[in-house]
Amino acid sequence: MEEMGKKIIKHCGGLPLAVKVLGGLLAAQHTLSEWKKVYEDIGSHLAGRTSFSDGNRNSVHHVLSLSFEELPILLKHCFLYLAHFPEDCPIDVEKLSYCWAAEGILNPKNYESESIRDVADVYIEELVKRNMVMSERDGRTSRFETCQLHDMMREMCLLKAKEENFLNIVGGTSTSNSKSPYKSRRLAVHWPGAKFNVEGEMKNPSLRSQLDDIRFILYQATVDEGIRSLWSQVSRREVAL
């Protein structure tokens, strides 16, 4: 049970309030099978696939949501932007910083005397302090070189991105997909380990209609020859690979 308890605490992503809530939940469970069920439920309850009792589910969701709701608006956008990236994907902070700047997420006043990269490090540091992002400064550069979201925090990030119409995701196992009825000005293409069939996907009327309003695409997939047809559809948009 001790080992299972450690797994459950790790699944909290280091959030003190979430640890406290789950500690109270585990105190009421007395067998290993009950603890295992809690562990399995934690990873899925935010997506609505299974649930605890209403009170416990709402408590954990409230704790994670509170972390987000208390962020300043710029940090909210910085955090939501991380939903662009696939699960378990180390995010290059330098690349991320220029994506933030291109989108106007970083406050231009902040880098009148500092580089975009320096400002991004400040934002990442604040998210790390709030236990919302995992990252450590590199001993050689003293910068955050990569960052990542814990699985549970990423689920919350995806849900918030969907709720706020911040982003739509095509492919992968994310909660958003090309059939979503909601339009967003950002599109992420996740097709790990396989080629993205651009020609086939472009026949999807839902996806084609989304491209009318898209201003930014993050593309992470094996590129095939059909990619030119996607570029022709988004020639005026910003595209990051």
Do 158 and 177 lie in a common domain?
Answer: no
Instruction: Tell me the residue range of the domain where 198 lies.
Output: 167-241
Say whether both 111 and 85 belong to one domain: yes
Q: How many domains does the chain have?
A: 3
Amino acid letter, residue 212 = D
* pLDDT tens-place string over residues 3-37: 776 776 666 655 565 775 566 567 767 688 887 77
149 C-beta neighbours (distance < 10 Å), count: 24
- What are 49-58's pLDDT values in tens digits? 333 344 444 5
pLDDT exceeds cutoff 80 at 137:
yes
Alpha helices in the chain (DSSP H): 2-10, 16-27, 32-42, 54-69, 73-81, 93-103, 116-129, 151-163, 198-201, 205-211, 227-233
Residue 110 above 70 pLDDT?
no
Task: Identify which has the larger pLDDT, 102 or 44.
Answer: 102
| Domain CATH for 130 | 1.10.10.10
Asked if 147 and 75 sit in the same domain, the reply is yes
Beta-bridge partner residues of 220: 190
Q: Which range is least confidently modeled, 60-74, 75-89, 128-142, 196-210?
A: 196-210
One domain, residues 175 and 100:
no
Burial of 104-115, coded b for 16+ CB within 10 Å and e otherwise, reads ebbeeeebeeee
- Rounded Cα gap, residues 43 and 163, in angstroms: 19
Q: What is the DSSP letter of 50?
A: S
* pLDDT tops 80 at residue 226: no
Supply the pTM of this predicted model: 0.63
Separation CA 110–CA 108 (nearest Å): 5
35-39, 109-113, 134-138: which has the minimum mean pLDDT? 109-113
pLDDT at 82 over 90: yes
- Mean pLDDT within 140-167: 88
Q: Of 135, 163, 191, at which residue does a domain stop?
A: 163
Q: Out of 163, 196, 223, pick the residue that ends a domain.
A: 163
Angle in degrees, CA 236, 237, 238, rounded to 5: 130
Q: Are both 79 and 63 inside the same structural domain?
A: no
The mean per-residue pLDDT over the stretch 203-232 comes to 51
Q: Which amino acid is at 230?
A: L
Is the pLDDT at 147 greater than 70? The verdict is yes
Helices then strands, counting H and E runs in the chain, come out as 11, 6
Strand partners, 92: 146
CB 148 within 8 Å of CB 89: yes
DSSP letter at 86?
P
Mean confidence (pLDDT) of the chain? 69
Single out the residue in 51, 69, 87 at which a domain terminates: 69
pLDDT of residue 177: 45
- Looking at the fold, whether 147 and 76 belong to one and the same domain comes out as yes
- Mean pLDDT throughout 159-163? 88
For residue 2, the number of C-alpha atoms closer than 13 Å in the C-beta half-sphere is: 0
Cα(217)–Cα(199) distance, rounded to whole angstroms? 17
Predicted local confidence at residue 146, as pLDDT: 95
Examine the domain organization and report whether 107 and 144 are in the same domain. yes
